[in-house]
């Protein structure tokens, strides 16, 4: 929201923004990233929890006077940023024992609360050997503190997270994917508390020893675990998404980092299905990293039977049950991206009868929610004026979503079957699958090819 | 925690990076809103339909000749159309001869 205010101020027009008091600290972080002074009128408390009388009193006594002052009075000076004072990239900022290094990073909120590997010059240089890019190269100014997403910053945070140097090409690809405008990393601190998950495809899955089988989403395998940790470390240290006593991350409850996923590509190929990356347009031997948000995870989807419908029919029912209440976000944005992690044994049965595209079409057609439920939850969650008609008028939903006023009618949150992804992974010895839902347009799926250094083979042979 | 002299020491690098934006000064404020145009931007969230009219009346009580432009003229600047709506802002603010803007609601 403050991004809009910054655009206005930069046009030379004074703006004042309405912020509820629990969001003031996050607003300060966002303001620093925008680097333009922004006036704020404060609404004390939570607007959705106040009576009409309380709301009117707060607006008249606090908010409106604050907004008026913001438009008419001189702007106050801003406070300094979190994370300690800015230092020179590449320079040592602290010297100490292992314990003292941990304490230093914790003190300045430059860690995730777990012990980190000290990012010494030598350790970082080892990572930099695994990329042809120069350490000072900047991929972009990454939200929300608008800092440089430099190759050096990726290496330092990779070291701290316990990654191996040879993961560096993937780490660069991951930051490139997260920095893609489609991913909307600026929304990573929103209250639903979504978490990015990395999906790895290509020969690197085996070469770097990713777990794509039983227990794939458990902490325990170095590649999966440390790369998942890296994502959250980077979001804190460079992007500025910090939980209290930090401020940039407003996830109300949130969730911990997710270990990286990898696909059982041999299983997928044996059954004739394109891999996750192939479905995104990449070749069968391309190394690819993808990122996507996870706002909700289904329960374990156990299925049995010898026909595709025996399995996919249950997936549709369980995904509706698991994600149904969040469907209003699909109607507000027109975008909803579920991922099915299909157990290899189950996928094999399905693939005997159905293509991946047919699976997606079925799920898109059969995941249905009641219109009244979506409207009710939208109104209590964030949008008291929610109607299907509004989003049809805005061109986000097709006209048929406003053709009936019957709140008992069933409506589709997945507008297009291609919004659904399927990944073959998990325990081949059990009939279980799971589904992972993106947070609508926030953290939408993005894939990037991994660029290996020219001397990759030589480096690997050591 | 204290350290012993034979423990290894580590010179560690800064894990963050430089700010990549240049500071911009705030726009000049307007001590008198009489005769001015105040535009309203709303993200269609958190009871703005109730809040904006109260704010409008409060400001009118102090500056009777202020003019407001309703948020509907600008569209929802949050969510699926955010980037398009924000891109269209300069032209629309110019069209309405905006002197000031109220933006909401972050909650």
Contacts of A99 in chain B (CB under 8 A): 1, 3
On the question of pLDDT at B58 being above 80, the answer is yes
Residue A130: the pLDDT is 98
Residue B24: the pLDDT is 86
Contact criterion met (CB below 8 Å) for A80 and B19: no
Residue A77: the pLDDT is 65
Residue A29: the pLDDT is 86
Residue B9: the pLDDT is 97
Band of pLDDT at residue A458, cut at 50, 70 and 90: very high
Band of pLDDT at residue A83, cut at 50, 70 and 90: low
Band of pLDDT at residue B4, cut at 50, 70 and 90: low
Cβ-defined contact of B80 to A75 (cutoff 8 Å): no
Residue B6: the pLDDT is 86
% of chain A with per-residue pLDDT over 70 = 98
Residue A28: the pLDDT is 87
Give the residues across from A339 on adjacent strands: A421, A436
Mean pLDDT of chain A: 95
d(C-alpha A373, C-alpha A383), whole Å? 14
Cβ-defined contact of B76 to A37 (cutoff 8 Å): no
Residue A75: the pLDDT is 83
Band of pLDDT at residue A360, cut at 50, 70 and 90: very high
Shortest Cα–Cα distance, B78 to chain A (Å): 7
All structural domains of chain B with their residue ranges: 37-104
C-alpha dist (Å) from residue A351 to A102, A267, A310, A346, A392 = 49, 11, 12, 9, 36
On the question of pLDDT at A416 being above 90, the answer is yes
Out of A55, A98, A138, the one facing B10 most closely (by C-beta) is A98
On the question of pLDDT at A80 being above 60, the answer is no
Cβ-defined contact of B80 to A56 (cutoff 8 Å): no
Residues A370-381 have pLDDT tens digits of 999 999 999 999
What lies within 8 Å, CB to CB, of A400 at 6+ separation is none
On the question of pLDDT at B3 being above 70, the answer is no
Residue B23: the pLDDT is 85
Q: What angle do CA A93, A98, A100 make, to 5 degrees?
A: 60
% of chain B with per-residue pLDDT over 90 = 79
Give the residues across from A150 on adjacent strands: A138
Band of pLDDT at residue B107, cut at 50, 70 and 90: confident
Give the residues across from B106 on adjacent strands: A19
Cβ-defined contact of A95 to B9 (cutoff 8 Å): yes
Band of pLDDT at residue A67, cut at 50, 70 and 90: very high
Residues A181-208 have pLDDT tens digits of 999 999 999 999 999 999 999 999 999 9
Residues A36-49 have pLDDT tens digits of 899 999 999 999 99
Q: Which of B16, B39, B53 to mutate to test the interface with A (most CBs of A within 10 A)?
A: B16
């Amino acid at each position: 929201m403050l991004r809009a205010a910054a655009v206005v101020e930069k046009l030379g027009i004074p703006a004042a923004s309405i912020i509820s008091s629990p969001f003031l600290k996050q607003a300060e972080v966002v303001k620093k990233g925008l680097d333009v002074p922004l006036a704020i009128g404060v609404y004390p408390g939570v607007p959705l929890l106040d009576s009409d009388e309380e709301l009117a009193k707060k607006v008249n006594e606090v908010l409106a006077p604050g907004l008026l002052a913001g438009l008419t009075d001189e702007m106050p000076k801003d406070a300094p940023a979190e994370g300690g004072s800015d230092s020179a990239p590449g320079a040592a900022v602290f010297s100490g024992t292992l314990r003292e290094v941990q304490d230093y990073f914790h003190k300045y909120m430059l860690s995730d609360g777990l012990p980190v590997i000290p990012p010494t010059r030598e350790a970082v240089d080892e990572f930099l050997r695994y990329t042809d890019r120069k350490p000072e190269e900047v991929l972009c100014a990454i939200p929300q503190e608008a800092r440089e997403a430099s190759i050096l910053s990726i290496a330092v945070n990779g070291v701290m997270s316990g990654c191996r140097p040879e993961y560096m090409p993937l780490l660069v690809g991951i930051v490139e994917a997260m920095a893609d405008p489609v991913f909307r990393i600026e929304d990573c601190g929103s209250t639903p508390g979504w978490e990015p998950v990395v999906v790895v495809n290509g020969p690197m899955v085996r070469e770097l020893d990713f777990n794509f089988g039983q227990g794939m989403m458990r902490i325990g395998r170095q590649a999966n675990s440390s790369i998942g940790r890296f994502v959250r470390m980077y979001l804190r240290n460079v992007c500025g998404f910090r939980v209290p006593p930090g401020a940039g991350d407003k996830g109300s409850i949130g969730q911990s980092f997710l270990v990286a996923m990898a696909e059982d590509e041999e299983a997928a190929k044996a059954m004739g299905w394109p891999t996750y990356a192939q479905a995104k347009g990449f070749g069968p031997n391309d190394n690819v990293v993808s990122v996507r948000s996870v706002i909700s995870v289904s329960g374990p989807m156990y299925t049995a039977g010898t026909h595709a419908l025996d399995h996919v029919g249950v997936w549709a029912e369980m995904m509706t049950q698991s994600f149904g209440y969040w469907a209003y976000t699909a109607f507000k944005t027109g975008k909803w991206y579920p991922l099915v992690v299909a157990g290899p044994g189950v996928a094999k049965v399905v693939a005997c009868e159905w293509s991946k595209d047919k699976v997606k079409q079925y799920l898109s057609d059969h995941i249905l929610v009641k219109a009244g439920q979506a409207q009710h939850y939208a109104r209590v969650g964030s949008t008291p004026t929610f109607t299907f008609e509004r989003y049809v008028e805005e061109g986000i939903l097709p006209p048929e979503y406003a053709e009936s006023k019957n709140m008992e009618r069933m409506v589709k949150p997945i507008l297009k079957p291609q919004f659904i992804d399927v990944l073959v992974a998990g325990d081949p010895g059990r009939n279980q699958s799971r589904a992972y839902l993106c947070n609508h347009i926030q953290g939408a799926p993005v894939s990037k090819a991994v660029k290996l250094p020219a001397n990759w083979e030589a480096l690997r042979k050591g | 925690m204290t350290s012993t002299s034979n423990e290894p020491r580590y010179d560690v690098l800064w894990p963050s990076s430089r700010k990549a934006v240049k500071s911009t000064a705030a726009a000049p404020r307007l001590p008198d809103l009489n005769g001015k145009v105040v535009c309203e931007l709303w993200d269609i969230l958190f009871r703005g339909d109730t809040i904006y009219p109260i704010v409008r009346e409060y400001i009118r009580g102090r500056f009777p000749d202020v003019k407001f432009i309703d948020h509907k003229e600008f569209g929802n600047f949050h969510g699926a159309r955010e980037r398009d709506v924000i891109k269209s802002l300069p032209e629309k603010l110019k069209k309405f001869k905006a002197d000031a803007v109220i933006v909401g609601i972050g909650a």
